[in-house]
Each structure stands twice: as C-alpha cells, then as structure tokens.
Structure 1
Amino acid sequence: MTLTHQCWLFVIGSLCFATGTAPGFSALAGAGAANVACFIGSWFFTSAAWVQLVRSGPEGSAEWLSAATQFAGTVLFNVSTGASVWAHAVLAERRLVWAPDAVGSFAFLVSAAFGVVAVSAQVGSWVPRSRDWQAEWVNMIGCLAFAASAVGAFVYKTGTAADEVLANVGTFFGALCFMAAAVLVLPRGQSARGPG
C-alpha cells in the first residue's frame, strides 16, 4: 500500500463522517442513516491508519507513535460508531458509544501531538509553506474538533446529549479537516485522477 492509498482511504472516511454529520442530514435521512455513514467511515479511517502505521518510521519514533496512537483511536471509533448503530438504551449509549468515542478522540489528540513533533523534526517547527507542516496542523485542528464533539456527545442519565449541535458540528468540521490534511499530502498528480 502506498501514500496514495492511505490518503484516499482517509478522504473517503472523512466524506462518510462529514456526510453523516452534515447539517440537516440526520433530519432528512434519519439518525440510523447518519450512524451507518459514520460507521462505514470509521472502517475507511482504520484502513488508512493501518497503512500509515505500516509505512511509518522506525518503531518508537514520533512518527510511529503518532501512527500507532491514531490506529488505536480509529479502532475505538469502530467500536463507538458500530455501537451507535445498535445501541438503543441510555446505559449502552454511555458505555458503548460515548466512552470509546471520548477515548478515541483523546487518542487522536495524542497522535496529533506526536505528529507535530515528527513533522517539526523533519521540516522545522514553523514552515507554513510545507504541505506536510500544513497537513499536520490541519490534522491537529481536526483532532481538537473531534475532542469538542466528544464533549458535546456526552450522554446524560436522561438520555440527552450534553450538546448535540457541538457533537455534530465538531465531527463535521473535524472530518473536513482530516480530508483537507489527506489531500495536502496526496502525491501531486493523483488528485485529478482519483483513487489508485
């Protein structure tokens, strides 16, 4: 698998998350369709994260730690998005959906921090003209948005979310950031031709 495969898997996964949480999508298509879109997206994320881990630098390096932590976070999103498809009780939502989502979001933040360290070592700490530098910081913003989303998605004992708008907007914006980061590092000439 190549960097091109990795990027397109992240793009497709991001599109699924963005679609599932787009303003009005849930009202139009239903919560079930939104949850399924995110569940499908989570598998594209995990596939991309696996490719990234396999391609990453030596084990223990900042690049490898970023990829390994991100892969773990994507697996947690597989759990949370999968559980959201079938969890129909408040206790199940809190334990099976929100908890893995929150831990997965934290893993994404840790991964982004390692990514910033790795890219700073490779290209410098302030190199805004570098696509790798731009992609890593856009990725960090996406991870912060996913973390905000997890806070908004906390499920109270009554079954209501702490802030449903924040949960959806955070995921939507984060997904767009992840898509932009993937496009930034996509080898040139590939974006016009599509995946592969």
Structure 2
Amino acid sequence: MPKTSLRSTKTRSPDHLENVTPQFLGPFLTRILGTDADDNLCVVTSRRHRKKLQPLRVHDLEEFVNERLPLKVWLRFWEPRSISWWLAILFMIGSALFTLGAALAIFPSFMSPWWHQPIVNNSVFFVGSIFFTTAGVIQYLEVINSEITDLANARTPDARIRRGIRWFAWRPRNLGYMASLIQLMGTILFNFNTGDALIANLTAREENLLIWTPNMIGSLCFLISTWCSYLEVGHRYLCFKPKDFTFWIVMINGFGSIAFQISAVASYYVQDGTVAWTTGSNWGTFLGGLGFLLASYLLIPELFEEEGEIARMKRRAASRSEEPTLKSGGETEEDEKAHGVGDHRQEDR
C-alpha cells in the first residue's frame, strides 16, 4: 500500500463503511473506524463528516505524516454550493460588525461622528447579532443533516445515509450537535441583548435585566459551545494538537468566547446607569470579534484539501499483521502509553 492516500478535493465523506467500530469520548460519538468500498481502513470524524470532507485513510506507517494545506487552498474562497461556506461568510459578517461597533466605542476619531451616535453604534451590534443567529441556524442544520450516527448505522451499501432534509433533531450524544445548539441559543440571547440596548431611558435595574443578563448568559453559551467543539476535535478531555488545522480554528474561537465573556462581566450596569468597567467591556468585545472573525475565515480553507493527507498511525511492535487499534486523538495504545494518556471508552452501538 502506498504511503500517501489517493485523496482529492472531489472526494467526500462516504455513504457507508463496513466493519464499523464507533469510538466514543464518554457518552459522545466522536468518530468511527471502518473500511470503505476499496477495502481501505478509514477514520471518519464527526466534524469531517459534517463538513463533507474526505475520510482519513489509515496507513501502516512508522512515523506521523502531518496534515498540510498547500498555498492554493488558502487562495480558494468561492464555494457557494457548500452550506459550510455560507456558515463561514455569515459568521464573518457578524463578527466584523461586532468588531466595528466596539472600535467605534474605543476610538473616538474612528469614522465620522454620525457613527458614534448611541443609536447607530447599538444598531451595528444588533445587525451583527442577526447575522450571528442566521449563521447559528445554518450551523444547526448542517449538523443534523450530517449525523455521524447515520454513517455508523449504514454498514451495508443498501443502508445508505438518509438524504432528506431534516429541520429538527435531538442528538445529545453528538458533540457537534451540542456545540451548535448551545451556540444558537447564545446568538438568540445576543439578539435580545443588542435589541434591548436600542431602548432609551432604561433604569440601571432594567438595563441589567434586559441587556446585561442575556449578554452574560449568551457569552456563557459561546464558552460552553467552544468546549464541546474542543472535545469533538481532540477526541479526549485534554489535548494539544498544534499541527492540526481544525484544532486552531477551535482555539481561536475559544479566545473569542473568553474575550466576550470578559466583556459581559465588565458590562454590568452600576447605579448611575454606566457599565462597571468600560475598558474591559469595549476591548473584550473588540478582541472577541477579531477572534471570531479569524476563526470564521479559517472555516473556508478548511473546506479545501489536497491529495496525500493521511491519518496518524504507527505500526505495532508486537505484531505487524495485527490490525492497529486507533485510540482517541489518532494514536495507538502504545502511543498513548508513551504520552501518559489513559484509555477512553470504545464501544459498538
């Protein structure tokens, strides 16, 4: 077998796999191991399946071959046929508007005085929250219509994945689903937060109830959503994967979520109607918006891949003929012992 997999940008996640072994992180199904139509051993993660990306071909290698993104992947931008592309674009617009709104508050000389009027500045945030929510709905639909459980159950060519469009589903054992659902709840709360900020003559108590409370809970939803995405990408509770492109998308998104949470805490209204910490509120929103903007952009190059990407796998020392057991994070049992990582549950559905 060659040491590079025959993969191209036209290959998509398979309709079915044989000899399927679901792999779990606690109660969550994060990926499955199986053989494709050409009898190649493959790994399909829940995120890659959701993004319609090709499966990772597992090869019997002595060393880890890194995933790389050639330069031309970064230069590809236009892919309106992909729901993931629209998701990225809408999140980018929403993030840019939140960054703009915060910049207007931080830099008094930035843009014309008209933009600095409270009604205009608050409207920028409100429009940005609408884009966030629209992206959140698309992200939710992306998840429920690319359910990895369907692939795990489609173990024969006659039991292929359901093709009809789902508008609602309950998938509590799918980390991608939980991340999208919780983030959608957060975006809706931001709609109330930014919309209520357009109401004039509120008391400090009303501002805390109508503006600060949804901001605080919405930011917390973004943090929890990012943690779910971290678990989904890492396939373990704690990991650091600096050579994994998707890992950095999640980490940058996490930076934005933390910054938004700091901004929310700082935005508590005191008795005179001003926020408790203006600098923290504005800069938290500004840096959080930049983080989300960058993470949203990186969703686009994530869609485009080149040939030769393979999964991490090392040969067992005891038996070359024995089928390797892929552990969480793409490592064999020997790899995990070397890194001091404990076993995670793997079970069949």
Calculate the TM-score normalised by the size of structure 1.
Answer: 0.89
Give the percent of matched residue pairs that are identical in Structure 1 and Structure 2. 31
Which residue matches 2:258? 144
112, 120, 125: which one aligns with 2:234: 120
> Are 2:265 and 1:184 equivalent residues in the alignment?
no
Counterparts of 2:187 and 2:83 in 1: how far apart (Å)?
A: 19
Task: Tell me what 1:18 maps to.
Answer: 99
The alpha carbon displacement at 1:88 in A equals: 2.5
Does the 8 A contact of 1:138 with 1:181 survive in 2? yes
Q: What is the count of residue pairs matched by the alignment?
A: 189
Measure, in 2, the Cα distance between the counterparts of 1:26 and 1:155: 26
How far the C-alpha of 1:188 sits from its partner, in A, is 6.4
**Secondary structure, counterpart of 1:86 in structure 2:** coil
Q: Please, which runs of 5 or more residues in structure 1 have no aligned partner?
A: 191-196
Map residues 11-160 of structure 1 onto 2, 5 A cutoff: 11-22=92-103, 23-24=106-107, 28=113, 29-56=116-143, 58=147, 59-60=171-172, 61-90=174-203, 91-121=205-235, 125-160=239-274
2:235 aligns to what SS in structure 1?
Answer: helix
Distance verdict in 2 for CA 1:108–1:188, change over 3 Å:
closer
Which of 253, 275, 285 is 1:161 aligned to? 275
Contact 1:19–1:25 (CA under 8 A) maintained in structure 2: no
Write 1 or 2 for the structure with the bigger share of helix.
Answer: 1
Amino acid at match of 2:91: F
Contact 1:13 1:43 in 2 (8 A): yes
Cα deviation code 1:63-103 (max 9, x no counterpart): 11001000000000000000001142123211100010001
- Please report the RMSD computed on the Cα atoms of aligned residues, expressed in angstroms: 2.1
Q: Which amino acid aligns with 1:24?
A: F
Q: What is the rounded CA distance, in whole Å, between the counterparts of 1:93 and 1:112 in structure 2? A: 27
Contact 1:87 1:93 in 2 (8 A): no
User: What is the CA distance between 1:167 and its match in structure 2?
Assistant: 0.6
Aligned AA (1:32): I
In structure 1, distance between residues paired with 2:109 and 2:300 = 31
Structure with higher Rg: it is: 2
Read off the aligned partner of 2:127 and give its amino acid letter: I
Letter of the aligned partner of 1:12 in structure 2?
I
2:226 aligned partner, one-letter code:
A
Which SS does the other structure have where 1:126 is aligned? coil
Cα displacement (A) at 1:128: 1.8
Residues 25/7 of structure 1: CA separation in 2 closer, same or farther (3 Å cut): farther
Q: Deviations over 1:22-76 (max 9, x none)?
A: 0225984222211110000000001111111111254221111001000000000
Structure 2, unpaired ranges of 5+: 1-81, 148-170, 305-349
**Partner of 1:194 in structure 2?**
none
Q: Deviations over 1:153-177 (max 9, x none)?
A: 0001221211011111101100100
SS at match of 1:85: coil
Q: Distance in 1 between matches of 2:274 and 2:86?
A: 39
Deviation digits for residues 90-143 of structure 1, max 9, x if unmatched? 232111000100010111111111111111129x93222322110100001100
**Dislocated runs of 4+, deviation >3 Å:** 25-28, 187-190
Rounded Cα–Cα distance in structure 2 between residues aligned with 1:67 and 1:129: 25
The answer to whether the Cα contact below 8 Å between 2:246 and 2:302 also exists between their aligned partners in 1 is no
Q: Which amino acid aligns with 1:168?
A: N
Q: TM-score, normalised by structure 2?
A: 0.51
